[in-house]
A and B are shown apart, each in its own frame.
Chain A
């Protein structure tokens, strides 16, 4: 879809841009923080104590952490990227990968500086946690200008798929509950009407769903096109759909949320009794009760003072699972 492509392009534009410029560690490498770390990890390695102590190499990132007092050196670019993902509903974050290379040990007294670059922003991914994007940064850590290590870090910014059951800790997958429906904030996009499809929209305005029919071979076609798919003839006339149809296929859209739509909602591919198919909303039934083969009937739904669209209403509940 166009909007998704635009969004992907916007995200890709962040690749190669700086995430941190001239960051400075909040504390020099120091014995107390090393000791607290070793206590937490249960690490009794004698290399980390005494007059010649080194810091555990796996603490590399710790010396760059901002703690509670704000991010040292983080760029507006990186904040923008995170904000963009937040706006797309990907408000949760989880770290997924950490790759560190240690060039020399860090010792108490070392003062680290660091720079980081946004290495990559993934395409949209579906994960068990939810749908989101992986953002990979690479950080170079230095002491006195000399490299001491590199730290590649990957996070998943995602829209949570569902909330877990509260009482019993989930052992396999968190139990799904209904995500909150987001209310449309703006108006739906307008259809693009041109001379090839104007007749269709004239029909909609009169609550008639018009199907084209080839003037030569008689093959019905939808959506409206200037020529016949079967024989290529430019001759055509129209006839009105009876309004009966069945759900040929469907998807449920949860994400990304577009301003004018309130996910989750079902988008159906409806096979009309006349043999052509139309993409439309399935209404009158919860989004998760739409089923392939479900009988539906044409209705016209008004969205605002000028926009009215053909939709398909589940046919009196027949075919709906109890």
Chain B
């Protein structure tokens, strides 16, 4: 685990099913995450992914890389361009800082219209200094 290490990118197809399944799994019934007609009435071209799903995907991206022993300490994300159905989001990450067995990873998720998410994940990897 070294500062500067780049995580392999993870491509996520933004399907309608993913958006709706993520919204319901997070108990988020805001209509803009499942009802395209109401989303359009509110000025969005289609439904869009909710922040809890994005948060889950960012967490998954980091733990997938560091393995099941990795423990998430902090996840801080900011949303930009929305994830609409039919788009693809590519998550990329860079280890910014390592302190013992704890790393700070900068994560960016880019879709067809821009940066959907930028964030920082702090993760502890037991014996991670050896990774």
Give A contacts to B, CB under 8 Å: 26, 33, 36-37, 39-43, 45-47, 56-59, 61-62, 65-68, 92-102, 105, 129-130, 160-166, 169-172, 174
Contacts and interface: CB of A to CB of B under 8 A. Distances in A.
Given A58-B56, A101-B74, A46 B43 contact: no
Contact of A58 (B21, B29, B72): B72
B58 A58 contact: yes
Interface of B: 12, 18, 21-22, 24-30, 32, 40-46, 50-53, 55-60, 63-64, 68, 71-79, 84, 86, 112-113
A98 B21 contact: no
B108 to A, nearest CB: 15
B85 to A, nearest CB: 9
A43 B21 CA distance: 13
Nearest to B26: A62
A99 B57 contact: no
Enumerate the 7 nearest inter-chain pairs by beta-carbon distance, A residue then B residue, closest first.
A160-B43, A58-B59, A65-B27, A40-B21, A99-B76, A95-B51, A40-B25
Contact of B44 (A41, A58, A95, A164): A164
A159 to B, nearest CB: 10
A166 B32 CA distance: 15
Contacts of A98: 51-52, 55, 75-77
Contacts of B12: 42
B73 A61 contact: no
Contacts of B59: 43, 56-58
Contacts of B41: 163
A166 B71 contact: no
